Amino acid sequence: MKVVISLLAPLCLIMFLSSCTRIIYIGKRVEPEIILEKKHNDIVFINLFDYTLPENVKQKASVGYQAGVTGLVEGLSSFSSDSSFSFLIGDTLRRGIKTGFLTTLLPEDTISDICDRYNCNLLLALDSLSIFFDSETNVDDDNEGINRTKNFYLNTRFFLSLYSSTGDLINRSEVDQSSLYRSRPTLYGFITIEPSLAKARVAVGNQSFQAGEDYVDKFFPKFFQETKQLYTGKLFRESNQYVFAKNWNKAIELLEQLAKNQDTVIVNKARYNMDIVKEAAEADKK
């Protein structure tokens, strides 16, 4: 009998709590990270990172970096899926720019010349990128001994600058992606063959494509739903009916009356519900 009671007690508590509250979903909007003045924008892209220079990238890894740039451009091309943007590819590899100049701003006349050539009002430059593996070791101790496995994670990081056609810097952003690439057992307990960027070029391209789409997302608002709980019961039945009918003013009016009650418990619950209703009403205006 004690076992039955111990099992029923938490179940009853959950049922009691759920019967005292009701869920409301409040739509939220997050403004774009990058806000532009014009309604329609023509963007031209150039890559300033010369992955063929040995001082920038080791020769064996250049194939992986090429896949990274190609994937990024394909992801950025999703700009053109929205009528407010046009996306053009100006240069996918501008050779000869050394590492020390990758973080400096482009000269105004260079920006203007490129924008005029492609009839664009915005220039998007890939300043630099970094593609690498990092790892973690998992240790499994069983009856047969200690087994070690190394998980290798592929990381891509892109650094981009957005300019107006007049040469003003609008935004500098970093977009990055990271995912598990491969797991490998260690030899003799400590030796592991590390992956090759050249052989990982397909994974690099896929990850870079997602990074490009992530950058495009910075120009658009984001929407999500936040979950809140309203107090229920006889006293709040009428106000909640108005809440779910989206008659915010009437719901607030009734809750304001309940907030004048002499019972502090009722007052606190009414004020709590009223705060949520006001938040939902404000979100409904946007």
What confidence tens digit (pLDDT) does each residue in 220-235 have?
A: 999 888 999 999 999 9
Q: Looking at this protein, which amino acid is placed at residue 104?
A: T
Strands 41-47 and 85-91 turn out to be parallel
Give mean pLDDT, residues 36-51: 94
Give mean pLDDT, residues 241-263: 94
CA dihedral defined by 100, 106, 110, 112, rounded to 10 degrees? 170
Give mean pLDDT, residues 249-268: 93
pLDDT confidence bin for 15, thresholds 50/70/90: very low
Give mean pLDDT, residues 161-167: 96
Q: What is the DSSP letter of 128?
A: E
pLDDT tens-digit map of 166-199: 999 999 999 999 999 988 777 655 566 788 999 9
Does the structure show a pLDDT above 90 at 9?
Answer: no
Q: According to the CATH classification, is domain 41-220 in 3.30.160.150? A: yes
CA-CA distance, 53 to 270, in Å (whole number)? Answer: 67
Domain ranges of the chain: 2-31+225-285, 41-220
Mean pLDDT score of the chain, rounded to an integer? Answer: 87
Which pLDDT value is given to residue 276? 95
Give mean pLDDT, residues 265-283: 93
CA atoms within 13 A on the CB side of 140: 9
pLDDT confidence bin for 265, thresholds 50/70/90: very high
pLDDT confidence bin for 108, thresholds 50/70/90: very high
CA-CA distance, 48 to 89, in Å (whole number)? Answer: 13
Q: Which residue from 184, 190, 113, 197 is spatially nearest to 155, judged by alpha carbons?
A: 197
Which pLDDT value is given to residue 46? 96
Does the structure show a pLDDT above 50 at 28?
Answer: yes
Give mean pLDDT, residues 79-105: 83
Instruction: Give every CB contact of residue 196 below 8 A, 6+ residues apart in sequence.
Output: 60, 64
